[in-house]
A and B are shown apart, each in its own frame.
Chain A
Amino acid sequence: MSGGTSEYSIAADGSFTAPLELSYPYKRTVGPILSRFLTGLRDQRIEGTKGSDGRVHVPPAEFDPITGDHLTEWVDVASTGTIVTWSWQPAPVEGNTLQHPFAWALISLDGADTNLLHAVDAGSADAIKTGMRVTARWAAEPSGSITDIVCFDLTSGSPA
């Protein structure tokens, strides 16, 4: 943990204010399932795990939601998909992959049965609709992280 005050000011009523930043430099191991998923992203490949009911989980589930067993069967899915629902982010914050207004969307990738949350670079809230088709935009310098997908772009000619 770190924090600190260095620049302070005194308001007209005599009260004292200062910027205070509290930060934690977390790092963690990801385990075998997310390791394979993130390693795949680095190679522009999206993989999910198949559950006992045949559903393909993307991001991959580590354990079967029904039986609780370890999931070991992997399935490649597409880097294209469909917007299931979305919410507009008018003011991006530090750490967002896009620094202009964008949509957070649940995306059903082709071949997957669960939804992936990611950013969609739609330009404006008027331009995005549930059901639109999207395509992953890959990072120029992948690092083995979910941000190796910078965002999804609306596929041109996308049916609304």
Chain B
Amino acid sequence: MSDDVLRIRTPISIKYQYSAGPRVSSHLLGLMDGRFVGKRCPVCELVYMPPRNGTCAKCGALLGEDVEVGQRGTITTFCVVNVPFLGQTIKIPYVSATILLDGADMGMQHLIQEVDAADVRMGMRVEPVWRPREEWQPSLENVMHFRPTGEPDAPFDSYAGHL
């Protein structure tokens, strides 16, 4: 009885050829070069970074020209992670923040390090810490994390429209 078949493995996998399309491609290629490349909406002029799937959420227009943003930015909102979970690789507590890169109109999510979680605040100015160049992939993971720049905090009004 103990030798009976009690469980089976049924792994499944799907292999894709992922194509980013022209609008997201320039963003990914920019990351290969250590740059943050977003796109501007030709109608409302909002700068998307990352450039989503190529259309403006507000106007529905196809995004237009490439716009290089950053590298520095401002924390608009953040979350202190205190809960351990399976596969966690970062020591808790740590901070996941929405960062509005200079020149962008959309915040992007990234990790904040090199600062005590209790000291992170809205308006804090941050800069990226890039991995060694030889490890770069077409991915936002090229940035290990963001850290405080030490500049004075950005005034609330400067990012109030981006929350």
Measured CB to CB, the residues of A under 8 A from B are: 5-6, 8, 10, 13-30, 35-36, 38-39, 42, 144-145
The majority secondary structure among interface residues of chain B is mixed
Which residues of chain B are within 8 angstroms of A145 by Cβ–Cβ distance? 5, 8
**CB nearest to B15 among chain A residues:** A21
What is the CA–CA distance of A21 and B14 in the complex, to the nearest angstrom?
6
User: In the bound complex, what is the Cα–Cα distance between A158 and B19 (angstroms)?
Assistant: 50
Other CB < 8 Å A-B pairs besides A15-B21, A22-B13, A26-B9, 13 of them? A5-B18, A8-B137, A10-B29, A15-B19, A15-B22, A16-B25, A16-B138, A18-B138, A20-B15, A20-B17, A27-B10, A30-B5, A35-B5
Which chain B residues have a beta carbon within 8 Å of chain A's beta carbons?
3-22, 24-26, 28-29, 137-139
Contact of A28 among B4, B7, B14, B138 (CB under 8 A): B7
For the complex, give the distance between the alpha carbons of A71 and B163 in Å.
60
Residue numbers in B under 8 Å from A27 (CB-CB): 7-10
Q: How far is the CA of A86 from the CA of B52 in the complex (A)?
A: 46
| Contact partners of B16 in chain A: CB under 8 A | 19-22
**Residue ID in chain B nearest A144 by CB atoms:** B5
In the complex, residue of chain B having the shortest beta-carbon distance to the beta carbon of A6: B137
Q: Which residues of B contact A15 (CB under 8 A)?
A: 19-22, 25
User: Could you tell me the dominant secondary structure of chain A's interface residues?
Assistant: mixed
Please list 25 pairs of residues, one from A and one from B, whose beta carbons are closer than 8 Å in the complex, sorted by A's number. A5-B138, A8-B137, A14-B22, A15-B21, A16-B20, A16-B29, A17-B18, A17-B20, A18-B138, A21-B14, A21-B15, A22-B13, A23-B13, A23-B14, A24-B11, A25-B11, A26-B9, A26-B12, A28-B10, A30-B8, A38-B5, A38-B8, A39-B4, A42-B5, A145-B5
CA distance A29 to B4 in the complex (A): 12
CB closest residue in chain A, given B14 = A22
Which chain A positions have C-beta within 8 A of B28?
16
B101 to chain A, nearest CB (A): 21
A24 touches B18 (CB 8 A): no
Return chain A residues, CB-CB under 8 Å to B18.
Answer: 5, 17-20
Residues from chain B with a CB closer than 8 A to the CB of A21 are: 13-16
